[in-house]
Amino acid sequence: MANIEKIEVNTETIQLDQFLKWAGVLESGGQVKLMIEDEMILVNGKVETARRKKLHEGDVVEIKEMGSWQVVFKGE
C-alpha cells in the first residue's frame, strides 16, 4: 500500500460513501456505487460491497489505482 492520507472526521463512525465525499475523493454516492460494483473499493484490505458500511477510527479505505485514506476521529 502506498502513502495513506489521514482524514479527520467529527463523528465516531461515518458511512463509507459519506467518508469518500467528505475526503473529496469522490463527488457523489453514485460514483461510490459504481466503484463498489466494479470491486475497486477496499476497506482494511478487503473488497467492500456495501456503500453505507460504517467506518470507525483507524479504518483504511483504498480505491484501486487512486490511493488510500485512513479515518481519524477528531474528537472535541
Specify the CATH number for the domain of residue 42: 3.10.290.10
Evaluate if residue 62 carries a pLDDT over 80: yes
Per the domain annotation, does 1 fall within a domain? no
CB 42 within 8 A of CB 59: no
46 forms bridges with which residues in the sheet?
43
Number of structural domains the chain divides into: 1
Q: Would you state the pLDDT for residue 76?
A: 61
Evaluate if residue 1 carries a pLDDT over 60: no
Mapped onto helix, strand or coil, the DSSP state of residue 67 is strand
Per the domain annotation, does 60 fall within a domain? yes
CB 27 within 8 A of CB 38: no
Q: Whole-model pTM above 0.85?
A: yes
Which whole-number Å values give the CA distances from 74 to 11, 26, 27, 35, 46, in the listed order? 8, 21, 22, 27, 25
Per the domain annotation, does 5 fall within a domain? no
CB 2 within 8 A of CB 67: yes
Per the domain annotation, does 8 fall within a domain? no
Per the domain annotation, does 28 fall within a domain? yes
Q: Would you state the pLDDT for residue 75?
A: 72
Per the domain annotation, does 3 fall within a domain? no
pLDDT digits (tens, 9 = 90+) for 19-60: 999 999 999 989 999 999 999 999 999 999 999 999 999 999
Q: Would you state the pLDDT for residue 4?
A: 96
Range of the domain at 38: 13-73
Q: Would you state the pLDDT for residue 2?
A: 61
Per the domain annotation, does 31 fall within a domain? yes
